[in-house]
Amino acid sequence: MDDSNKLALNYKDYQSDRINDWCAGCGDHGILRALEKALAEMGLPRDQVAAFGGIGCSGKTPYYLNTYGVHTLHGRVLSFATGAKLANPSLNVIAMGGDGDALSIGGGHFINTGRRNLDMTYIMFNNGVYGLTKGQAAPTLQPGDKTKSMAQSNIQGQLNPVLLALVSGYTWVGRGYAYDVKTLTGLIVDAIRHPGIAFLDVLQPCPKYNDLHTKSWYGERLYDLSKVGHHSLISTDSEEQLAEEIRIMALIRAREWGERIPTGVFLQDLSRPEFQEQIGQLQPAYSAQPPSRQTISDEMGKSMVDLTTLFENLRVS
């Protein structure tokens, strides 16, 4: 991302005047606030930020921001966001959605987005349930869990989003907590600043439907990776062996769930080239003239494309 045009704005300047219809006490409020604060801290011009939401309670977030806002389809938020970023690299693209959105219906895009180290941020609202459809189990729920609107306890396994992000290739992977706005703000800033694909898992209590993963449940369990000496950074010049150790330590930490739940940054890998740079190497004009910035017709409205060379190979005479 690019915060060279930093503005002096207050977090309120990033709020739209739309009515927020999340439940009182919902963790989503904290995530929204942290996001506003992160944008303010970075002073990003509002017209250079595009927020994309999936479908779910979480997916409504873009409505509440006074940036560009795109409310997409269930499970597809990463595709829309990727398309926009590829076409207009100067946008700061932030994708957001629920855990059902991300890992269940959107699971294929989740793992394939990790394959592209595109400079964008994905924030997943992890509430263990399908909020907007009234509390069914999300894939983040553990086997045996039974939240209040489930008829029977969960017999499907849990997908661990952090672990999945790590093995899919995301180059910045972190976890925050919706009720800790301050730390979360820092993590979001970090994720946005990271020059590659960033995934942030946010533990988000849903007081309406998830009566297991409440404030008190999290309270005892969360700990901060930075406090336990976890080393997350692979720099451009890290030795490969060290890098591999860091990657493996990230996996080991990511497996923790239950009694002790790590938060903070699991991995930041700067050794992998950013995706749009790579495109620019294969297609040199891309950087200067990305799809959204091409002038394609002249003043007379005529096409400016010259196909002569191309025709050459296909011509007979």
Partner 1 sequence: MVLNLVNQETDNLSWRIGGPQGSGINRIARLFARACATQGAELICRREYHSNIMGRHSYNDILMGAKSAHCHRESTDILVSFDPETLARHALMVTDKGCVLHSSEDADVPLGRLAYLDERLREDLTRRLEAFNLPPSTGGLLQMINQKGVQSFAIPYGQLLTKLAEAVDKPRQWVAAAQNTLAASVSATLMSLAQETLEEAIETAFGGRKDLVELNHQAMLIAYNYTREHISWKGPSIPVNESPGERLLINATQGVALGKLAAGMGFQSYYPISPATDESTFLEAHAGAPLDNGQTSGPLIFQVEDELAAINMASGAALTGARSATSTSGPGFSLMSEGLGWAGMNEVPLVVTLYQRGGPSTGMPTRTDQGDLQFALNAGHGEFPRIILASGDVTSCFYDAAQAFDYAEHYQLPVIHLLDKALTSTLQTIPLPEPSQISIDRGERDIKSSQSLQGVKRFQLTDSGISPRPVLGDPNGQHWTTGVEHSEQGQVTEDPVLREAMMEKRARKLELAAAEIPVSEKLEILGDEASEFTLLTWGSNKGAVLDAMQRLADSGISARAVQLRLLWPLPADELMAILSESSPSVMIEANFSGQLNKLFQQQIGRGCDYVILKYSGRPISGEALFPALMDIHTGSAEPHIVLRNSFE
111 to 92, 102, 106: CA distances (angstroms): 21, 10, 9
Q: How many Cβ atoms sit within 10 Å of the Cβ of residue 242? A: 12
42-101: contacts with Mg ion (CB under 5 A): 98-100
Binding mask 148-187 for ligand SF4 (x = CB under 6 A): ----------------------------------------
From ligand TPP, partner 1, its own copies, none, which one binds at residue 183 (CB under 5 to 8 Å depending on kind)? none
What residues contact 166, with CB distance under 8 A and at least 6 apart?
A: 173, 247, 250, 251, 254, 266, 267
Contact 203, 178 (CB under 8 A): yes
Distance CA 98, CA 124 (A): 6
Q: How many Cβ atoms sit within 10 Å of the Cβ of residue 234? A: 23
109 to 74, 153, 288: CA distances (angstroms): 12, 28, 28
Q: Indicate the residue among 30 and 196 with the shorter CB distance to ligand SF4.
A: 30
The minimum distance between CB 50 and ligand TPP, in angstroms, equals: 20
Candidates 226, 197, 64, 189; CA nearest to 121 is: 197
Q: From the list 11, 133, 249, 257, which residue makes contact with partner 1 (rule: CB under 8 A)?
A: 133
Dihedral sign for Cα 168, 173, 178, 179, please.
Answer: positive
Is 56 among the residues that bind its own copies (CB under 8 A)? no
Candidates 56, 75, 64, 8; CA nearest to 33 is: 64
Query: How many residues touch ligand TPP (CB under 6 A)?
Result: 18
64-83: contacts with its own copies (CB under 8 A): 75
Q: Indicate the residue among 220 and 244 with the shorter CB distance to its own copies.
A: 244
The minimum distance between CB 47 and partner 1, in angstroms, equals: 5
Is 150 among the residues that bind its own copies (CB under 8 A)? no
From ligand TPP, its own copies, partner 1, none, which one binds at residue 317 (CB under 5 to 8 Å depending on kind)? partner 1
Largest CA distance in the chain: 80
Is 244 among the residues that bind its own copies (CB under 8 A)? yes
Binding mask 262-281 for partner 1 (x = CB under 8 A): -----------------x--
Is 127 among the residues that bind ligand TPP (CB under 6 A)? yes
90-109: contacts with ligand TPP (CB under 6 A): 97-101
Binding-site ranges for ligand TPP (CB under 6 A)? 55-58, 74, 97-101, 125, 127, 129-133, 138
